[in-house]
Structures are given as structure tokens and as C-alpha cells.
């Protein structure tokens, strides 16, 4: 299972990080894609290929990995419809919905400070 982690500082730091409420939460939505996937799914449930189109250059592998991780953390619910061709829908769970107002504020910060930065250049 690739369980190669020992008691390295890397792992000790990881523990420290997930002990803290703030970084525990931050880790759930960290990485390049998770936050924006959750944000899209906050608007409506979507199929795999719909999501893929939202992110023009994402690889299928990345999308799958991120969705799996989010599913594992119970932030998205995956529903498979037995059909051909296959049809799978992703939607947010209740605990993921609680992130949405936070995303709004982050987005507002981003908008404001990106503007400020551009006006100085």
C-alpha cells in the first residue's frame, strides 16, 4: 500500500498540521483542483465530462484523483447510473455545502486584491 512513511519530520509535521482545526480544514480543500471543483459542484450536480469541460486542460487522471479524494473525505457524493454509455453524477454533501460561504469570501478577497495588484502595474 505504499506505506513508506516513517517517523520522519515530514510525517510529524503532517500530524501537527492535521491536529490543528484550521489546517485540518485547509487540507481538505488544498491542492490545485479541489476548491474549484467543489465550487462548481456548489452550483449544481455534474457529470464527469461536464466537470472536465469546466477545466480545459485538466487531465482525466487528475479529475478522477481529485474526485476520489473528495469522495473519500465525504465532500462529494458519487452516483452511478447503470447505463451504456456509463453515467456518473457528482454532487456536494451537506458538510461540503458549509464551505460555500467561505468560498464566497475568499473569492471576494481574490477579486479585490487582484484588482489592486493590477492597478499598480
Q: Is residue 110 involved in binding its own copies (CB under 8 A)?
A: yes
For DNA, the binding residue among 20, 25, 45, 87 (CB under 7 A) is 87
- CA-CA distance, 41 to 106, in Å (whole number)? 17
Mark residues 49-68: x for contact with DNA by CB under 7 A, - for none.
x-------xxxxxx-xx-xx
Q: Which is nearer to its own copies, 34 or 90 (CB)?
A: 34
For residue 48, which of 35, 1, 59 has the smallest C-alpha distance?
A: 59
Q: How far is the CB of 108 from its own copies (least distance, A)?
A: 8
Q: Quick one: cell of 6? A: 516513517
Name the burial class of residue 92, with classes exposed (0-12), middle (13-18) and buried (19+) by CB atoms within 10 angstroms of its CB.
buried
Q: Is the dihedral of CA 56, 119, 102, 10 positive or negative?
A: positive
User: Do 72 and 86 touch, CB atoms closer than 8 A?
Assistant: no
Residues lying near its own copies in the complex (CB under 8 A): 9, 12-13, 16-17, 20-26, 29-32, 35-36, 39, 55-59, 95, 98-99, 101-103, 105-111, 113-114, 116
Residues that bind DNA (CB under 7 A): 4-6, 8-10, 13, 31-33, 47-49, 57-62, 64-65, 67-68, 78, 84-88
Amino acid at each position: 500500500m505504499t506505506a513508506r512513511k516513517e517517523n520522519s519530520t515530514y510525517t510529524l509535521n503532517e500530524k501537527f498540521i492535521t491536529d490543528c482545526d484550521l489546517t485540518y480544514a485547509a487540507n481538505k480543500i488544498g491542492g490545485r483542483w479541489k476548491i474549484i471543483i467543489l465550487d462548481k459542484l456548489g452550483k449544481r450536480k455534474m457529470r464527469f465530462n461536464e466537470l472536465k469541460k469546466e477545466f480545459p486542460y485538466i487531465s482525466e487522471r487528475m479529475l478522477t484523483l481529485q474526485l476520489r479524494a473528495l469522495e473519500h473525505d465525504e465532500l462529494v457524493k458519487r452516483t452511478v447510473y447503470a447505463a451504456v454509455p456509463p453515467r456518473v453524477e457528482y454532487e456536494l454533501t451537506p458538510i461540503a455545502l458549509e464551505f460555500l460561504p467561505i468560498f464566497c469570501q475568499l473569492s471576494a478577497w481574490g477579486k479585490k486584491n487582484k484588482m489592486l495588484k493590477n492597478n499598480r502595474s
